[in-house]
């Protein structure tokens, strides 16, 4: 009897420990996240601190990805999780201060994800129209966000 009770308690503990980690990343990411740290190709973008990224259940994303002035570059696009990568794709990154926009693809490795913190890093690829031709470039980015 004691052995059966001990096994039942151990099984219950295993389930309780594994349950939070078994939640799909898609479900954990849905909601609003405030940027607490942002970096792009070696420089710290302090202006991005405090900006909010919103991940909706329908796969839509919106938020500011600013490299210059605060509120300068708003993106409204789709998001999805592919394995351990968070992908923001489609839509345009609008640089309101400059009057032009770019197509954005942001592929980020999920380094930490729990109910309060999201830490991601990876590459941002932009496609933009200049001098009558499309050009593509990419750069490294890193973000730390907290649940809002």
pLDDT tens per residue across span 1-57: 666 656 555 555 454 444 445 568 888 999 999 999 888 775 555 667 788 999 999
Of 12-26, 78-92, 131-145, minimum mean pLDDT range: 12-26
Name the band, by pLDDT with cuts 50, 70 and 90, for residue 93. low
The residue among 123, 124, 115, 122 whose CA lies nearest residue 145 is: 115
pLDDT score at 134? 66
> What are the residue ranges of helices labelled H in the chain?
2-21, 25-29
Query: What is the pTM assigned to this prediction?
Result: 0.71
d(CA 126, CA 44): 19
SS3 labels along 47-81:
HHCCCEEEECCCCEEEEECCCCCCCCEEEEEEEEE
d(CA 103, CA 75): 9
């Amino acid at each position: 009897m004691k052995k059966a009770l001990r096994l039942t308690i151990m099984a219950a503990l295993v389930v309780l420990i594994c349950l939070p980690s078994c939640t799909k990343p898609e479900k954990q990411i849905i909601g609003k996240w405030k940027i607490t740290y942002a970096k792009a190709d070696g420089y710290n973008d302090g202006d991005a601190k405090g900006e909010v990224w919103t991940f909706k259940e329908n796969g839509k994303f919106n938020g500011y990805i600013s490299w210059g002035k605060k509120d300068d570059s708003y993106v409204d696009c789709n998001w999805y999780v592919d394995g351990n990568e968070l992908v923001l794709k489609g839509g345009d990154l609008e640089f309101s201060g400059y009057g032009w926009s770019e197509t954005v693809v942001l592929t980020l490795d999920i380094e930490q994800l729990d109910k309060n913190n999201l830490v991601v890093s990876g590459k941002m690829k932009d496609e933009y129209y200049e001098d009558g031709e499309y050009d593509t470039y990419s750069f490294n980015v890193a973000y730390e966000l907290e649940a809002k």
